[in-house]
Structure 1
Amino acid sequence: MEMILSPWPWYLSGPLIAITMFILLYLGKNFGMSSNLRTICTMCGAGKTASFFKFDWRSQKWNLLMVVGAMIGGFIASNYLGAGQSPDLNPKTITQLEAMGIQSAGKDYIPTEFFGNEVFSEPKVLVLLIVGGLLVGFGARYAGGCTSGHSISGISNLQLESLIATIGFFVGGIIMIHLIFPLLF
């Protein structure tokens, strides 16, 4: 018999994130996932061709461990803590998504139309994923960090730039899902 555990409620996971941020602030560290790409490129020798990659990557080993931990935690959560679960979506949302061709809405935790193996056989979806990935990567670099860096670490450091960036992330997400996404599907 397979035991399925529920995800942790916000009142447990939220304070754990806050405690983690207090510890990082106390240690003088800034958290952000996108900065790890710079660290990995530097480890691979990119500093020989671009000055942006010339820095002491060893000082960022702790952040690389956070990435490894996030990957392991994601694997554990998806395979043992929420296996077989689907998000509790509003029926109107499910109907709207199904009208756009997303038949897995409300049935699977993530849309298999975007994350299943069939994505590699549909050129339109593959192009959207590649272009979206490039835009996210460019945006994270241009904004000086990703959503986790600005929204969690930057705001907890009381950085006005991070608050502005986070507002921009939300506004961009709303524009994407309500205006652009329906045009694509």
Structure 2
Amino acid sequence: MNYILEPWPWYVAGPLIAGIMFLLLFTGKNFGMSSNLRTMCTIGGAGKKADFFDFNWKSQRWNLMVVVGAVLGGFIAANLLSTDIAVDINPDTVSTLEVLGFDSAGEAYLPNELFATNALTDPKALVILLTGGVLIGFGARYAGGCTSGHAISGLSNLQLPSLIAVVGFFIGGLVMIHLLFPLIF
């Protein structure tokens, strides 16, 4: 049971992801989390207002189960399978984050200063979360998919646009963490 309570090593998780990708490719399906937002908007009737949402959403029911599985899996992992062990982060990173005001660095996967319930009363945290959400939503739509869709599914299909998008994701992440993050915090 102890192996369930710890992060799985790459040589277990990687082949599992590859196996799922093989099954999806074999059945002619593409994986991606952001496409579910389009499906949910279509279910809500957005197809009457915009042609982008006018498609047969029932063909994407399987992908909605991915979202349900991710939410249930996250809940089970956080509430039933997690131990009270601190997150294993490089001590230099913890020191840098503490200087920037993240006192929960090394204690949680998501910083309490941004994601705890009481952070929603902090105007700065609220602006950061809302701005980040809009930028991520715009970026996923503009790039034709999210990081999981491009990096896992698109690269598995050997799609050049996915390679370009993944390179852009990495460059954007580097710019964010090294240039913008210190300015924001």
TM-score category (smaller protein): over 0.9
Distance 1:179 1:14 in 2: 31
Distance 1:178 1:105 in 2: 17
Residue pair 1:46, 1:53 contacting (<8 A) in 2 also: yes
Paired position in structure 2 for 1:41: 41
| 1:74 positional shift | 1.0
Paired position in structure 1 for 2:126: 126
- Residues 95-118 of structure 1, C-alpha deviations (whole Å, 9 max, x = no match): 100000000001223211111012
Paired position in structure 2 for 1:73: 73
Structure 1 position 177 matched with structure 2 position 151: no
Q: Which fold has the larger relative contact order, with Cα–Cα distance below 8 Å and residues 6 or more apart in sequence?
A: 1
- Residues 138-168 of structure 1, C-alpha deviations (whole Å, 9 max, x = no match): 0000000000000000000000110110011
Distance 1:38 1:122 in 2: 31
Secondary structure of 1:81's counterpart equals coil
**TM-score, normalised to structure 1's length?**
0.95
Question: How much is the aligned-residue C-alpha RMSD, in angstroms?
Answer: 1.1
Structure 1 position 86 matched with structure 2 position 86: yes
Q: 1:65 is aligned with what amino acid? A: M
- Residues 58-117 of structure 1, C-alpha deviations (whole Å, 9 max, x = no match): 000000001100111111122223332332111111110000000000122321111101
Paired position in structure 2 for 1:5: 5
Q: 1:120 is aligned with what amino acid? A: L
Distance 1:80 1:73 in 2: 10
| 1:7 positional shift | 2.0
Q: 2:32 is aligned with what amino acid? A: G
> What 5-or-longer segments of structure 2 have no aligned partner?
none
Residue pair 1:5, 1:80 contacting (<8 A) in 2 also: no
> What 5-or-longer segments of structure 1 have no aligned partner?
none
Which stretch has the larger CA shift, 85-94 or 68-77?
85-94
Count, aligned residues: 182
Paired position in structure 2 for 1:28: 28
Q: 1:152 is aligned with what amino acid? A: I
Which stretch has the larger CA shift, 71-80 or 118-127?
71-80
**TM-score, normalised to structure 2's length?**
0.95
Structure 1 runs of 4+ aligned residues shifted over 2 Å read 80-83
The alignment-based identity, stated in percent, is 64
